[in-house]
């Protein structure tokens, strides 16, 4: 995710990193060259025999803009829903930590508190890794560096296919052990277990978003229509504006193609594009907040890189 101060209107015109221009520049160049060819043929060789009414093309453009706006809204809903789920994850992790660190009788030792905090941090890290379909990142070192708190759990975590579920199982087993020892009563145990259920629902919601994209046929239809419209523009405009046709084509094509590309980025909020959710930073927030509540040392916060991107 791009995290930077608000720029002036002039600097916003020339921002490169974080925009979709680098991705679509070759396509824009091809359309510009095609518009130049159409204009040259019309002006120097023979008039374009096909006549397209600008009004008809304008009506098609309005319809296309409406459908692109709808897809953009749908994609942003997915992005925002994913962010809300990670917000709920942070809230539930902190609530479980507060209950675990303040309510059992007798109170948890530092090692026990650190165990709970490390497990909650591992939950966020494993979910981030699963959603990005990648291997566990170095943050799992927090688990391996605490053998007294989590004996052999790091190795079990590496071997598991559904790591967040394994972490929740470990937390549930720990809570059950407290209940058997009589350190938490049935009401408190049920309240703490509800937070674990909430974390499990977060996993399911994130998996739903990640595994169910916008129907492919819908994306294909809009994608084809955008490029067909951009290709027809020079033919419709050349008779009216002459050598301004390539520039007008470039401007309209940039607007439509860029919007199509933006919606494609937002559609997959758990990726590693500059505008996707910063899952590593959100997982580090869980790590730091739970370890601080436990009274343990904290890993450093993640900061944006030289391109103002937070992963």
Tell me: the pLDDT tens digits for 285-311?
999 999 999 988 888 888 777 666 777
CA distance 108 to 274: 41
Identify whether 1 is part of a domain: no
| pLDDT tens per residue across span 48-68 | 666 666 677 777 888 888 888
Quickly state the pLDDT bin for 170 (edges 50, 70, 90).
Answer: very high
Q: What is the mean pLDDT of residues 221-238?
A: 87
Report pLDDT for 8: 75
Identify whether 4 is part of a domain: no
3-state per-residue secondary structure call for 47-114? CCCCCCCHHHHHHHHHHHHHHHHHHHHHHHHHHHHHHHHHHHHHHHHHHHHHHHHHCCCCCCCHHHHH
CA distance 14 to 11: 5
| pLDDT tens per residue across span 269-279 | 998 888 889 99
CA distances from 236 to 52, 240, 241 (A): 5, 8, 10
3-state per-residue secondary structure call for 144-160? HCCCCCCCCHHHHHHHC
Report pLDDT for 172: 95
**Residue with more model confidence, 275 or 34:** 34
Quickly state the pLDDT bin for 91 (edges 50, 70, 90).
Answer: very high
Identify whether 79 is part of a domain: yes
- Domain containing 80 equals 25-294
Identify whether 101 is part of a domain: yes
**Residue with more model confidence, 129 or 63:** 129
Identify whether 210 is part of a domain: yes
Determine contact, residues 48/305, Cβ cutoff 8 Å: no
Structure tokens at 145: 């560096």
Quickly state the pLDDT bin for 1 (edges 50, 70, 90).
Answer: confident
Identify whether 209 is part of a domain: yes
Report pLDDT for 301: 84
Report pLDDT for 142: 56
CA distance 277 to 275: 7
Report pLDDT for 136: 47
Report pLDDT for 217: 86
CA distance 199 to 179: 20
Question: Is it the case that residue 25 has pLDDT exceeding 60?
Answer: yes
Which residue in this structure is represented by tokens 């509540």? 293
- Report the chain's mean pLDDT, rounded to a whole number: 85
Identify whether 15 is part of a domain: no
**Residue with more model confidence, 50 or 178:** 178
Identify whether 167 is part of a domain: yes
N- to C-terminal Cα distance for the chain? Answer: 6
Quickly state the pLDDT bin for 181 (edges 50, 70, 90).
Answer: very high
Q: How many domains does the chain fold into?
A: 1
| pLDDT tens per residue across span 230-249 | 888 888 888 878 889 899 99
Q: What is the mean pLDDT of residues 165-194?
A: 93
| pLDDT tens per residue across span 131-152 | 987 644 544 555 555 555 566 7
């Amino acid at each position: 995710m791009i995290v930077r101060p608000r720029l002036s209107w002039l600097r916003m015109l020339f921002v490169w990193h974080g925009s979709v221009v680098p991705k679509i520049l070759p396509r824009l160049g091809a359309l510009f060259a095609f518009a130049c060819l159409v204009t040259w043929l019309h002006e120097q060789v023979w008039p374009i025999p096909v006549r397209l009414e600008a009004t008809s093309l304008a009506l098609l453009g309005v319809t296309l803009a409406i459908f692109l706006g709808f897809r953009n809204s749908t994609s942003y809903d997915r992005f925002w829903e994913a962010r809300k789920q990670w917000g709920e994850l942070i809230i539930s992790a902190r609530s479980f930590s507060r209950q675990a660190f303040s309510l059992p009788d007798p109170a948890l030792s530092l090692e026990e508190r650190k165990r709970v905090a490390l497990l909650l941090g591992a939950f966020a890290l494993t979910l981030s890794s699963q959603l990005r379909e990648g291997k566990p990142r170095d943050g799992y070192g927090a688990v391996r560096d605490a053998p007294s708190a989590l004996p052999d759990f790091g190795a079990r975590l590496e071997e598991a296919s559904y790591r967040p579920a394994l972490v929740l199982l470990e937390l549930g087993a720990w809570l059950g052990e407290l209940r058997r020892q009589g350190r938490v009563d049935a009401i408190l145990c049920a309240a703490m277990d509800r937070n674990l259920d909430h974390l499990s629902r977060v996993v399911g919601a994130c998996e739903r978003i990640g595994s169910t994209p916008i129907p492919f046929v819908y994306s294909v239809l809009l994608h084809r229509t955008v490029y067909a419209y951009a290709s027809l523009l020079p033919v419709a405009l050349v008779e009216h504006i002459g050598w301004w046709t390539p520039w007008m084509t470039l401007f309209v094509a940039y607007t439509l193609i860029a919007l199509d590309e933006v919606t494609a980025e937002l559609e997959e909020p758990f990726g590693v594009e500059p505008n996707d959710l910063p899952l590593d930073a959100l997982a580090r927030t869980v790590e730091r907040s739970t370890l601080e509540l436990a009274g343990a040392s904290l890993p450093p916060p993640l900061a944006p890189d030289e391109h103002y991107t937070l992963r």
